[in-house]
Amino acid sequence: MQSFFFIPANKLHKIAHIKEKGATEIVIDLEDAVKTSEKNNLLERILKYPNEDIRNCFFRVPLMDSKGNFDFKIFDRLLENGFTRFVFPKLTGFNDFELCLKRTKSTLKVILLIETPRLYMESFNHISNYHQHVYGLALGSHDFISAIQAKHTLQNLEVLRQQILYFSKAYDILAIDIASMNIMDGESFREELMDGFDKGYDGKFIIHPNQLEIVNGTKFYSDLEYEWALQVEQKLNKHGGANEFDPILINGKVVEKPHIKLAIRIINEFRK
């Protein structure tokens, strides 16, 4: 399971530490995690940051002002300086996404946060036209739940998480699961993590080192599942690859071609 760790833009000194902790990706948060009055100064610090690795980070950028009008100043400055990896929050609909893309001729890597019902519904029809720009798709669950005035529970999020997962898989986009605000309840977070993994999510948003330790320390498959996967791999090699693979019997269960991907995923997870 990949981890996408959010670091507030006023804590850039933590980037190296979080990378050493094993985060897959870093997201520098210039939106909700910092004060509006700080953002311009923080942007200048980012542009002058001595380590070029910062360009490999994603940036959650503010795209709207406090009145809900577009404000592209920070986004444009990052574009002008060659940054191409972004998290787009607070978009009302897909027209907003199109407006963002039109501000540059570069191909962007965007993690699109689905945070409004309209953007969620319009994604059905429009994401196919822009999937080359969408690196990851994720539900901004707290904003979405606030928009529909519901309670933030996994039960209320179930359909949304499933649908966003299907959008992602349909267009070979990374599926990133929701962020958990309860940073002290490790057991609850572990259950949520496993629920997302079992559904088929590729990654998860992380907001605290405690959560990152849980992700990196979680055994997503059992030893028995690993043994099964190794037997599939052995049979696969013996048969001469997937094209020559016909149904076989392992531990009394039939294994067919659709099971090969699962076996490879299990093996890759154990060999990390």
The residues with which 137 forms a beta bridge, in sequence order, are 112, 175
SS3 content of the chain, % helix, strand, coil (to 5): 50, 15, 30
CA atoms lying within 13 Å on the CB side of residue 125? 7
Inform me whether the pLDDT recorded for 136 exceeds 90.
yes
Q: Which residue in 112, 123, 232, 127 sits closest to 171, CA to CA?
A: 127
Q: Are 106 and 76 in contact (CB under 8 A)?
A: no
Q: Which alpha helices (DSSP H) does 131-185 contain, by range?
A: 141-148, 154-170
Inform me whether the pLDDT recorded for 73 exceeds 90.
yes
**pLDDT tens readout for residues 11-53:** 999 999 999 999 999 999 999 999 999 999 999 999 999 877 8
State residue 243's pLDDT score. 67
End-to-end CA distance of the chain: 11
pTM for this entry: 0.89
Q: What is the DSSP string of 166-179?
A: HHHHHTT-EEEEPP
Under DSSP, the state recorded for 249 is E
Q: Helix 186-199 crosses helix 209-217 at what angle (to 10 degrees)?
A: 50
The residues with which 138 forms a beta bridge, in sequence order, are 113, 176
Backbone φ and ψ for 184, nearest 5 degrees, come out as: -100, -15
Q: Which residue in 63, 216, 90, 209 sits closest to 147, CA to CA?
A: 90
Report the percent of the chain where pLDDT is more than 70: 98
Radius of gyration of the chain (CA): 20
Q: Distance between CA atoms of 202 and 192, rounded to whole angstroms? A: 14
